Chain A
Amino acid sequence: MLSLDFLVGFTIFLLALIMVVSMVPGLLAGLESSGIDYDAVAYRTGVILVEDPGWPVSPPWESKGVEHKDKNIIVGEEGIQRMGLAVSREAPNILLSAKVEKFFNDTFFDRNDYRSKVIFGDIPYSYRISLRSLDDTYHYMTGDLLPADYGYIRRVVKIKEPSWTEIVGSNSNYWTAEPTMPTQNFIVRFDFSQLRDQTISPVYQIDPRRESVNVTITKFEEYHNDTTNDMILQHIRFQKVGVADDIPFEYEIEDPDLYILRVDGNLHHLTPNTTVSENISLVLKPAATADFPLDDDSILNIHFTFGNTKISGTHNYDYKTPPLKTGVLEVAIW
């Protein structure tokens, strides 16, 4: 005959056993939770793209090559280490248009480049990365078609486009009635301490060592001196204020990776000695300026030498940037 104490004790034991047994199915739940991994990898990739400027920073990675395309690059040293699209670490979510255009160039990069320089990890993930601006001027995509299930992150960004300065011929500040002879000099000055003024948000600072700068002179006919002869652009030189000599550079070789000079719409190198009648446009890229011996307080002069003109003076490169463009970047990983 069972005693009451035994029954009570056995009941409590059984209740405890039932509770433990009911927890057993949790032990059998799948340990391969790859769905978490995909979301985490997508998030990490989104952070690298949107909050990191990439590596190297100066000269920036978008001016560099990749090992399998450029045999001169020593693996892991001179080439691109990491592709990030942010203007700088201090300006997250603000993307630089030059980095965006280079990143989505999949004739230049292949899948292994994206995996090793953006996504990282040992597993060869499939990916789809897209960027779209609100006004649809940026609509890029790289990767594969989406499957049914994938890890995902969406980041809202703004895109910063290159700055420019325009000197219009009718600007009397640079017109002189008594031009120097036989040549006339005109200088566009980049005062780095002003361009990188720390009182201005890093989003709006201009650093010619990291982004392209554009100098355009229009209505150049206003500076014509003797109209029986043509105006001549002899050469353009780069100078650091405080140093007597010109900055060493290949002034007589055209190199669109370093600069683009157009005189009346035609491409030239920096010693064109050609006639000019309407406009001059010089785009100086960070791949060139990053190699100049400049620091954060330097002043860089772009020195134009003309013939038969009435131009003179120094123009300080001022802040004219197109408005930032809102966009969305999406990363899918599977």
Chain B
Amino acid sequence: MVNDAGQLYTMEGIAAGLIMLLAAYIVVSTTSIYTTGDTHIPDMQLEQLGSDVLAMMDTPDSVDGESQLVKFIETGEGNDLREAFLANCTMRSGDPDNSLRAQVYLSYRRTGGNVNTTPISREDESYTGRENAVRVTRWVQLTGNPSLPPDMPDDMQRSDPQTVLVEVLLWRA
């Protein structure tokens, strides 16, 4: 009994189904509930913390002092930078918050002119299996260091003052 006349019913059924889906979607999305999972509040808290720490590490302790962040970059101490960063992040009024981990990257302009990003701290033992990592960044002004230490990338231009981007990936292990 299948003939062309049935096609209209099929099309009508499909159209009705699509209209129902559309109606249901519109109804549900207008009453969507804001839950903790949706707002990524723990991410925001971590991002604020990381951003504060980078800003404070880049603030000298006296008017003629040196920025701790600039010093770590210019002396090529990426691991020490990561340790100092984590020490500031984990500080609390009670016990330290020891579940935090970090990895530091540096974006700089090569002598050839293009931009490269490289990790400057050792990989963390909890590097895999992380979740909800946040990335905090800060532009750092370097004064120019003709003899760049061996841990810094070889193709980083050395003699002129330059601006580099320090990125820190921060997560809870």
- Seen from chain A, the residues whose Cβ lies within 8 Å of a Cβ on chain B are 1, 3-6, 8-13, 15-17, 19-20, 23, 26-27, 29-31, 33, 35-36, 39, 43, 93-94, 130-132, 134, 139, 141, 152-158, 200-201, 203-204, 319, 321, 323-324, 326, 328, 330
Flag B1-24 by CB within 8 Å of A: 1 or 0 each: 110001111101110111011001
Which label, helix, strand, loop or mixed, suits the secondary structure of the B interface? helix
Interface-centre pick from A11, A16, A131 (highest chain B CB count, 10 A): A16
Q: List A contacts of B12 (CB < 8 A).
A: 9
**Contact (Cβ within 8 A) A157 B52:** yes
Contacts A13-B17, A19-B24, A33-B35 known; A156 to B61 CB distance under 8 Å? no
**Contact (Cβ within 8 A) A93 B63:** no
**Contact (Cβ within 8 A) B28 A12:** no
Shortest CB–CB separation between residue A230 and chain B, in angstroms?
39
Whether B45 sits at the interface, judged by CB under 8 Å, is yes
Closest to A4 in B: B2
Q: List residues 77-116 of chain B with CB under 8 A from any CB of chain A.
A: 88-89, 91-93
Shortest CB–CB separation between residue B135 and chain A, in angstroms?
17
What CA separation (Å) do A203 and B61 show in the bound complex?
10
What CA separation (Å) do A250 and B20 show in the bound complex?
82
Closest to B19 in A: A16
Whether B164 sits at the interface, judged by CB under 8 Å, is no
Q: Given known contacts A5-B7, A16-B21, what 16 new A-B pairs fall within 8 Å (CB)?
A: A4-B6, A9-B12, A15-B17, A16-B17, A16-B20, A20-B24, A29-B33, A35-B36, A36-B41, A134-B91, A141-B93, A155-B48, A156-B49, A156-B89, A321-B63, A328-B91
**Contact (Cβ within 8 A) A152 B52:** no
**Contact (Cβ within 8 A) B93 A152:** no
Q: List B contacts of A326 (CB < 8 A).
A: 56, 88
Contacts A94-B59, A204-B62 known; A3 to B21 CB distance under 8 Å? no
Shortest CB–CB separation between residue A81 and chain B, in angstroms?
25
Shortest CB–CB separation between residue B7 and chain A, in angstroms?
7
**Contact (Cβ within 8 A) B20 A33:** no
**Contact (Cβ within 8 A) B28 A13:** no
Flag B24-57 by CB within 8 Å of A: 1 or 0 each: 1000100111111001010011001100110110
Whether B129 sits at the interface, judged by CB under 8 Å, is no
Partner of B39, one of A1, A26, A36, A319: A36
Shortest CB–CB separation between residue A40 and chain B, in angstroms?
8
Interface-centre pick from B8, B31, B53, B59 (highest chain A CB count, 10 A): B59
Whether B146 sits at the interface, judged by CB under 8 Å, is no
Contacts A16-B17, A328-B91 known; A200 to B6 CB distance under 8 Å? no
**Contact (Cβ within 8 A) A132 B91:** yes
Chain B interface extent, by class: 35 or more
**Contact (Cβ within 8 A) B59 A132:** no
Closest to A197 in B: B63
What CA separation (Å) do A158 and B44 show in the bound complex?
21
What CA separation (Å) do A12 and B7 show in the bound complex?
14
**Contact (Cβ within 8 A) A321 B62:** yes
What CA separation (Å) do A326 and B84 show in the bound complex?
12
Q: List A contacts of B20 (CB < 8 A).
A: 13, 16-17, 20
Whether B150 sits at the interface, judged by CB under 8 Å, is no
What CA separation (Å) do A9 and B31 show in the bound complex?
30
**Contact (Cβ within 8 A) B59 A203:** yes
What CA separation (Å) do A12 and B10 show in the bound complex?
9
What CA separation (Å) do A204 and B59 show in the bound complex?
10
Interface-centre pick from B6, B7, B48, B63 (highest chain A CB count, 10 A): B63
Shortest CB–CB separation between residue B70 and chain A, in angstroms?
14
What CA separation (Å) do A30 and B12 show in the bound complex?
38
**Contact (Cβ within 8 A) A9 B10:** yes
Closest to A204 in B: B63
**Contact (Cβ within 8 A) B45 A152:** yes
Closest to B13 in A: A9
Q: List A contacts of B13 (CB < 8 A).
A: 5, 8-13
What CA separation (Å) do A37 and B9 show in the bound complex?
51
What CA separation (Å) do A9 and B62 show in the bound complex?
77
